[in-house]
Amino acid sequence: MTAPLDPDMFDPVCPSDLTPIRVGDKWAGMIIRCLEHGPRRFSELRVPLRGITAKALTKSLRTLERDGLVARTVHGDPVRRVEYELTDLGRSMLAPMAAVCAWAQEHWDELLDAREASAPTGRAG
């Protein structure tokens, strides 16, 4: 049995779109990280991804499945349940994602400064 996901594994202050390098859609990288240590049920994924709607999670999981990164398994014993897990191809994304995370962490202040500098000031021009 896999340990429960930490509800605080993703810092809400850290926007997932801060890094200019993204895997799939807004949620794909975080879903891959949630599946890193083994299969998870839909409801388990919603714990650390508390900002995601059921519709968006379903769409992201289907896209990851279509791209061969995630496998969906339906178990029918004795109650029907569905689990999602990384395929070998999906697991191969973990190292590049770790490198991107390390890069973003190293350049965090520069990325924030750039975002703030380009944000509209709210003044009519």
| Better-predicted residue by pLDDT, 61 or 49 | 61
Residue 26: per-residue pLDDT:
85
Q: May I ask the CATH architecture of the domain 28-118?
A: Orthogonal Bundle (1.10)
Query: In terms of pTM, does the model score above 0.85?
Result: no
Query: Which tokens in the block code for residue 60?
Result: 């992201």
> Hey, where are the domains in the chain?
28-118
Residues 6 or more apart in contact with residue 78 via CB below 8 angstroms: none
Residues 74-119: tens digit of each pLDDT: 998 888 999 999 999 999 999 998 888 888 888 888 988 988 898 8
